Chain A
Amino acid sequence: MNDHNAFITAEPIEPTDDGPLSGQTVAVKDNISTAGVRTTCGSEMLSDYVPPYDATVVERLKEAGATIVGKTNMDEFGMGTTTETSAFGPTENPAAEGRVPGGSSGGSAAAVAAGDADLALGSDTGGSVRCPAAFCGVVGIKPTYGLVSRYGLVAYANSLEQIGPLAPTVEGAAELLDVIAGPDPNDATTHDPPENAEYAAAATGDVDGMTVGVPPELLEGADEAVRDSFDATIEQLRAAGATVETVSLPSVETAVQAYYVIAMSEASSNLARFDGVRYGISGGEGNWNESFASAREEGFGAEVKRRILLGTYALSAGYHDKYYKKAQDARAWVKQDFDEAFESVDVLASPTMPVPPFERGETLDDPLQMYLADANTVPVNLANLPAISVPATETDEGPVGVQFVGPAFGEEAIVRAGSVLA
């Protein structure tokens, strides 16, 4: 079942009850804790780490009758857009040979695309569910911040990330969201969903009367083939009765910068726990400074080191106001822009990624080029909003997706919009 290296550990976990997912198989990203089954985060640091407890979403899957088929490959600690930074080797894209599956939840998307699992869970800090969904031709949802518990998710940038579902269809992804959504006493940032919210039931394919906003800023950098595919999608929505309007979001011009400053800063703090004492690789002899520094040199890959160092730099004396504080302003500006946009439209639409799947190895030597590809996904995380990626017309270079963004806790609207297409 592991033809595409989609799984790091292919060890089944049985359900504890019958429920809406009985008979269904689910692949779980390897940064989501599974009691008794190793959880590596795609890192050498945690190659032997076996959590003593389940993440809340894993408990909910088991109670809903799902069989977990394995733990999926990912960019190390979620830091990447290609699943090539994994310490366990890259994942192949089952839908585009020789190209990356996207990241960081590339194993989850590839498992669904290859039919190795009916459904999958990923995590999305700046696009890590939606990007691989787009590149592998499946559906992925990034829920509103606070809709899904992060208890048991190994933190990368905790103010931005959410666990989200992947599936072949919008209805399938929404059904999985129905199972994992809802408050959790172990995650104080969780929130009650809107009353009577039923996400799978919202996949009606009916967009008659819906207003879809298109921000030109999210089309500017897109490849021609991606734009053609997106235009075809917009025509489909119009034909189904939706009204399409142009809506400007000037703040997204600095969203990628703000995202990387905030994510790297939070990562530098969150990953400080990996010192080789309670878990992970031991740094061996020497005083504690030497031992920790040696454990972290050995345990972390290049992209993780890069982000921890840049985050440390951005928070260090003399630079905090220039980088971190300005990034928080940029984040508040993005949120304000989206709030204003949703006064006149029901959902916003854009290409999920500005490019088709990269060729393998294309971005490994140029991290900045990889960061720039996140232009359309990171604004959503900065604004804490829900978004879905749905397959659009395929390009010659592989699958691409269309992204619908909704207002906070407006998952039903994006499910409805997406269900016209898949």
Chain B
Amino acid sequence: MTVDDAEVEHVASLARIDLDEEEIELFAAQFADILEYFEALDDVPEVDPDAELANVMRPDEVREGLTQEEALSNAPETEDGYFKGPRVS
């Protein structure tokens, strides 16, 4: 199993994580080892999962939640009672 730098960069961009050159090289080598180890899953038989799960429902009623002030209390930037995010494009 080999993993090249371009593959690591592609996955990092999907995951929205910038990496430096050193990390890319290190991860490419480590991912090759780890993915090779995962190959053993190919030999696992198909198994039907237990169907003993049940949906849990509750009435759709208004309940107390966080106040606006509490919800915003950890935001790096806010404006007029809203979260302030980066520009979209």
Q: Which of B6-57 contact A (CB under 8 A)?
A: 7-8, 11-19, 23, 27, 30-31, 33-35, 37-38, 40-50, 56
Complex CA–CA separation, A106 to B44 (angstroms)? 33
Question: Given the interface contacts A297-B18, A323-B41, does A332 sit within 8 Å of B48 by beta carbon?
Answer: yes
Contact A287 B27 (CB under 8 A): no
Question: Given the interface contacts A279-B75, A323-B41, does A309 sit within 8 Å of B15 by beta carbon?
Answer: yes
Q: What chain B residues lie within 8 Å of A272 (beta carbons)? A: 16
Complex CA–CA separation, A308 to B75 (angstroms)? 23
Complex CA–CA separation, A188 to B58 (angstroms)? 9
Q: Which of A281-324 contact B (CB under 8 A)?
A: 281-283, 285-294, 296-297, 300, 302, 305-306, 308-310, 312-314, 316, 322-323
B81 at the interface (CB under 8 A from A): no
Contact B31 A297 (CB under 8 A): no
A149 at the interface (CB under 8 A from B): no
Q: What chain B residues lie within 8 Å of A65 (beta carbons)? A: none
Complex CA–CA separation, A209 to B15 (angstroms)? 53
A329 at the interface (CB under 8 A from B): yes
Complex CA–CA separation, A316 to B15 (angstroms)? 10
Contact of B17 among A288, A309, A329 (CB under 8 A): A309
Closest to A369 in B: B33
Contact of A288 among B13, B40, B86 (CB under 8 A): B86
A122-151 CB mask vs B (1 if < 8 Å, else 0) is: 000000000000000000000000000000
Contact B74 A258 (CB under 8 A): no
Contact of A286 among B13, B41, B75, B86 (CB under 8 A): B86
The number of chain A residues with a CB under 8 A from chain B is: 63
Contact A305 B85 (CB under 8 A): no
Question: Given the interface contacts A292-B16, A327-B41, does A368 sit within 8 Å of B30 by beta carbon?
Answer: yes
Q: Which of B23, B38, B45, B71 has the most CB of A within 10 A?
A: B38
Contact B76 A281 (CB under 8 A): yes
Residues of B near any A CB (own CB < 8 A): 7-8, 11-19, 23, 27, 30-31, 33-35, 37-38, 40-50, 56, 58, 66, 70-71, 73-77, 83-89
Q: List 16 A-B contacts (CB under 8 A).
A: A53-B66, A277-B75, A277-B86, A278-B83, A280-B76, A288-B87, A302-B23, A308-B17, A309-B12, A314-B38, A322-B42, A323-B38, A326-B41, A332-B50, A335-B50, A368-B34
